[in-house]
Amino acid sequence: MRAVIQRVSSASVTIAGEISGEIQQGFLILLGIEAADTQEDIDWLTGKIARMRVFADDAGLMNLSITDISGSALVVSQFTLHANTKKGNRPSFIRAARPEQAKPMYEDFMQALGNLIEIPCQSGEFGADMQVNLVNDGPVTIIIDSKNRE
């Protein structure tokens, strides 16, 4: 499971001209689910995100988590995060989970993260053509892969 986490002052997802999800301060999370992912990946990644201290404290230091600031999360499914670009110029997405596996895991991820941060996650629509708007605060962008736990 791979996530691109952006600290935002605001973010939204629009589908066919209608806003599907919208937040103020918090995280925009682009989430890619791999065929080999399990509930263990969801638990590890949501815990890591909920505890990540990247929000400024009173001294301006990145010492606070999303729960400390009562922030929100907007989660957008993005299978292209598992693109393999090793050969040729056309990416291969063979490692990305098929929709019948990925969609329930995406929903489980949002539920688990919402429980940890105590605010339901906002979202796009799985598999839809989406326009994502954000104001990246910092900018702070972090990439986490549950298969490469650094």
Q: Which domain holds residue 101?
A: 2-145
**56 within domain boundaries:** yes
Say if residue 139 is preceded by a cis peptide, omega within 30 of 0. Answer: yes
pLDDT tens by residue, 64-87: 999 999 999 999 999 989 888 888
Please tell me the total number of residues recorded for the chain in this structure: 150
- Measured CA to CA, the distance from residue 150 to residue 58 in angstroms comes to 28
**CATH code of the domain covering residue 67:** 3.50.80.10
Question: Active site includes 55?
Answer: no
Whether 20 contacts 14, CB under 8 Å: yes
Whether 95 contacts 34, CB under 8 Å: yes
Check 27, 55, 79, 109 and give the catalytic one: 79
Question: Active site includes 78?
Answer: yes
**92 within domain boundaries:** yes
Question: What does pTM read for this prediction?
Answer: 0.94
Question: Active site includes 79?
Answer: yes
**150 within domain boundaries:** no
Q: Of 132, 150, 144, which Cα lies nearest the Cα of 37?
A: 144
pLDDT of 82 reads 85
Residue with tokens 């009562």: 70
Check 6, 46, 78, 122 and give the catalytic one: 78
**102 within domain boundaries:** yes
Check 80, 109, 131, 141 and give the catalytic one: 80
Domain count, the chain: 1
Per-residue model confidence as pLDDT tens for the chain (150 residues): 999 999 999 999 999 999 999 999 999 999 999 999 999 999 999 999 999 999 999 999 999 999 999 999 999 999 989 888 888 898 989 889 999 999 999 999 999 999 999 999 999 999 899 999 999 999 999 999 998 887
DSSP secondary-structure letter at 97? Answer: P
pLDDT of 80 reads 85
- Measured CA to CA, the distance from residue 49 to residue 39 in angstroms comes to 15
**55 within domain boundaries:** yes
Whether 146 contacts 2, CB under 8 Å: yes
Whether 31 contacts 82, CB under 8 Å: no
pLDDT of 149 reads 82
- Measured CA to CA, the distance from residue 108 to residue 40 in angstroms comes to 11
